A and B are shown apart, each in its own frame.
Chain A
Amino acid sequence: MTLLDVKDLRVSFGETRAVDGLSFSLERGRVLGLVGESGCGKSVTSLAVMGLLNGATTSGEIWFDGQELLGSDRRAVRRLRGDRLAMIFQDPLSSLNPYYPVGFQIAEAYRAHRRTSRKQARAIVVRMLDRVGIPEAERRARDYPHQFSGGMRQRVMIAMALCLEPELIIADEPTTALDVTVQAQILALLDTLRAEYGTAVLLITHDLGVVAGTADEVVVMYGGRAVERGEVHALFEDPREPYTRRLLAAVPRIDRPVPDRLETL
């Protein structure tokens, strides 16, 4: 069943077109990778789905579980946000408010959509922090973002995104700011939790390796459009579009003999 259906999305900031007629759809519980180089419009797309674009002209349709979001009133979209569709951002340090303890920031997300006492919310926060692998969750909930490492902060963001068990998570470059070994941890965690909650994921990344290991389907973007889309194995094994092929060839891979020169676009 289709959970998210984006039809002919166009976003522009003044004269610049960031997204130029993009369409894709995502089934429940599946992972869709949106890949492309910087400026291809992938992040703008994610913000458009969340209704978080400011000062942009948007047209097209974004259907979420049978509800069109672009045309809906702001309050209805706001109610969905955080509850049924949640987001994980690239830079966890700047994405958390430095003035409040992380536990408060997670509880706040929960209480924005569910009527609960502070105490109940607190218990849920501790459970979530524990669930994402933060040791001593009870104590750490009172700590501030700057007291965590990069990987731990991203775990906090994941706990925040998952605390209401949303149907869709949009992860915008969730591991780009992290080191490879920590990236592996976070990807593994996301994968486990996603499977457990049955959450669909829209994964936005520039890293073809991350997509290869995580996504079920892939949309390759260039200049605000989808240049190629397909099931992950098919796309990587037999890319149809020259752009996709060259993009793949440009990555220096550690599992193949070292080429004399890398393919360039």
Chain B
Amino acid sequence: MIVYLLKRLGAAAAILLVICALTFTIFYIAPDDPAQKACGKACTPERIEQIRDQLGLDTPIPEQFASYVRGIFAGRTYGTGSTAVECPFPCLGFSFQTNVPVQELLVSRLPVSASIAVGAAVLWLLVGVGAGVLAALRKGSWWDRTAMGAALGGISLPIYLTALVLQYLLVVVFEVLPYPRAVGLLEDPAGWFASMLMPWIALAALYAGMYARLTRTELIGVLSQNFVRTARAKGLPERTVVRRHALRPTLTPIVTVFGMDLGALLGGALITESVFGLPGVGKLAADAINSSDQPVILGVTLFAAAFIVFANVVVDLLYAVLDPRIRLGAS
């Protein structure tokens, strides 16, 4: 099992390396000159040359890539002598715009993204899975049809539309919520909640639809299984049959999908954060792209990919823990 885990982590690292390399190359086939970008508006040819030297842009691309990867694991020093700049582990370079180390930017933005992702996840799990279970248990009923119609609507909602409509109604027209802003959960819990509520609803509307549909399909499938019939044949009350025998097998695949979705969201909800102007990782990415801040784009891509890749590993392990057939192997 440990060997397996190490192998999986190794494969995850390999995937990240490939993603890193691909993203890295894209900026070198790009028409923009990174040194020009880093230099900014007030720029002299000498200054550009200096930056070029400092960033190591004169060395061949594979070599630059190697020093970038080395920097992630061991830190690196840009330039030499008096102009040398120390970039400690895990070095992702400096933002062209602000000159702040990219890793610091990411760490400072993570709490906002995490607040959005986790809160939305709680909301959509409650609503989506709940609605799906009820729909499956009352298959064909009025409730089932309404819930599934709503779910289909939910998955069809473009997030920026939901976001703008919410903001227009709740903030502009009815004035029940303030404009969202970045507030720490610990500093001002009420303000945090008020700011996060709209992003949560906007995201949850989409995901709750997906989860409601998934839960319903899974549960209907499980309810037709022979072991559910056995549970009924034992004379168990229907509630126990559903809770104990049907829900567990239903939730196992949902947990794995959930892990993947949460992983992806922790790496930044780009559109949601942009629309609400919340400074999370996604907003960081959007801003970096607008200003061609390549080190930041690269950093965010890697950061988000890392969440997805590791969520993948966690989900596989979780599956093994949840399903005794995998945990204990075949007989």
Q: Do chains A and B touch in the complex (CB under 8 A)?
A: yes
- Known A-B contacts A97-B245, A146-B330; the reply to A89 vs B226 at CB < 8 A is yes
B225 adjacent to chain A (CB < 8 Å) = yes
B224: nearest chain-A partner, CB-CB? A54
User: B233 and A86: CB pair below 8 A?
Assistant: yes
Known: A89-B226, A95-B227, A99-B249. A147 touches B328 (CB 8 A): yes
Residues of A within 8 A of B325 (CB): 98, 144, 146
**Interface flag for B7 (CB, 8 Å):** no
The docked-state distance in angstroms from the alpha carbon of A108 to that of B231 is: 9
- Report Cα–Cα, A83/B230, bound state, in Å: 13
The reply to whether B234 and A98 contact each other, CB–CB distance below 8 Å, is no
Query: Shortest distance in angstroms between B16's beta carbon and chain A's nearest beta carbon?
Result: 34
Partner of A83, one of B235, B238, B240, B248: B235
A to B contact number (C-beta, < 8 Å): 77
Chain B residue with the shortest CB-CB distance to A146:
B325
Taken together as a complex, chains A and B put the C-alpha atoms of A98 and B227 apart, in Å, by 8
How many B residues touch A, CB cutoff 8 Å?
Answer: 24
Q: Is A109 an interface residue (CB 8 A)?
A: yes
State whether A95 and B331 are in contact (beta carbons under 8 Å apart), knowing that A78-B237, A81-B233 are contacts in the complex. no
Q: Complex formed: what's the CA distance from A83 to B234 in Å?
A: 7
CB distance from A27 to the nearest CB of B (A): 23
Known: A94-B226, A95-B226. A109 touches B234 (CB 8 A): yes
Tell me, yes or no, whether B47 is within 8 Å of chain A by CB. Answer: no
The interface residues of chain B, by DSSP majority, are classed as helix
Total chain A interface residues with beta-carbon distance under 8 A: 29
B236 engages A96 (CB within 8 Å): no
| Chain B residue nearest to A147 in the complex (CB) | B331
User: Cβ of B232 and Cβ of A97 under 8 Å apart?
Assistant: no
Shortest distance from the beta carbon of A125 to any chain B beta carbon, whole Å: 13
Q: Which residue of the partner chain B has the closest CB to A110?
A: B234
Q: How far is the CA of A147 from the CA of B324 in the complex (A)?
A: 10
Say if the beta carbon of A63 comes within 8 Å of chain B.
no
B229 adjacent to chain A (CB < 8 Å): yes
Given contacts A81-B232, A86-B233, A149-B331, contact A97 B227 (CB under 8 A): yes
Question: What CA separation (Å) do A26 and B330 show in the bound complex?
Answer: 42
CB <8 Å contact, A96 and B324 = no
Identify which of A82, A98, A113 contacts B324 (C-beta below 8 A): A98
Q: A153 CB to closest chain B CB, in angstroms?
A: 10
Asked if A123 CB lies within 8 Å of chain B CBs, one says no
Task: Please state if A146 and B230 are interface contacts (CB–CB under 8 Å).
Answer: no
Q: Which residues of B contact A89 (CB under 8 A)?
A: 226, 229-230, 233
Inter-chain CA distance A146–B227, complex, in Å, is 13
Report if A50-B233 is in contact (Cβ < 8 Å); known contacts: A89-B226, A99-B248, A146-B325. Answer: yes
* Minimum C-beta distance from A13 to chain B (A): 14
Tell me which residues across on chain B come within 8 A of A253, comparing CB atoms. none
Q: Which residues of A contact B232 (CB under 8 A)?
A: 52, 81
Within A83-135, the residues touching B (CB, 8 Å) are 83, 86-87, 89, 91, 94-99, 108-109, 112-113
**Bound CA–CA A13/B185 (angstroms):** 57
List A residues 231-262 near B (Cβ within 8 Å). none
Indicate if the CB atoms of B230 and A95 lie closer than 8 Å.
Answer: yes
- Residue on B nearest A78 in the bound complex, by CB: B235
* Residues in B whose Cβ lies below 8 Å from that of A6: none
The answer to whether A94 and B236 touch across the interface, beta carbons within 8 angstroms, is no
Q: Any chain B CB within 8 A of the CB of A160?
A: yes
Shortest C-beta distance, B45 to chain A (Å), equals 70
Question: Measured between alpha carbons, how far is A257 from B236 in the docked complex, in Å?
Answer: 51
- Among residues of B, the one whose C-beta sits closest to the C-beta of A101 is B324
Residue of B nearest to A82 (CB): B235
Determine the chain B residues whose CB is within 8 A of the CB of A81 once the complex forms. 232-235
- Asked if A146 meets B324 with Cβ closer than 8 Å, knowing A91-B226, A94-B225, A96-B227, the reply is yes
- Kindly list chain A residues whose C-beta atoms are within 8 Å of the C-beta of B63: none
A37 to B245, CA, bound (A): 32
A148 at the interface (CB under 8 A from B): yes
**B323 an interface residue at 8 Å Cβ cutoff?**
yes
Nearest chain A CB to B308's CB is how many angstroms away? 28
Option from A91, A98, A146 in Cβ contact (under 8 Å) with B331? A146
- Taken together as a complex, chains A and B put the C-alpha atoms of A112 and B229 apart, in Å, by 15
Chain B residues, CB < 8 A from A97? 227, 230-231, 245, 249
18 contacts between A and B (CB under 8 A): A52-B232, A82-B236, A83-B235, A89-B229, A94-B225, A94-B226, A95-B226, A95-B229, A96-B230, A97-B227, A97-B230, A98-B323, A99-B323, A109-B234, A109-B236, A113-B235, A146-B328, A149-B331
Given A91-B226, A97-B249, A99-B249, list of 20 further CB < 8 A pairs? A78-B238, A79-B235, A80-B235, A81-B233, A83-B235, A89-B230, A89-B233, A95-B226, A96-B227, A97-B227, A97-B245, A112-B235, A112-B240, A113-B235, A144-B324, A144-B328, A146-B330, A146-B331, A147-B331, A148-B331
Q: Which residues of A contact B (CB under 8 A)?
A: 50, 52, 78-83, 86-87, 89, 91, 94-99, 108-109, 112-113, 144, 146-149, 157, 160
Task: Give B contacts to A, CB under 8 Å.
Answer: 225-227, 229-238, 240, 244-245, 248-249, 323-325, 328, 330-331
8 closest Cβ pairs, A-B complex: A82-B235, A81-B235, A82-B234, A109-B234, A94-B226, A97-B227, A95-B226, A87-B233
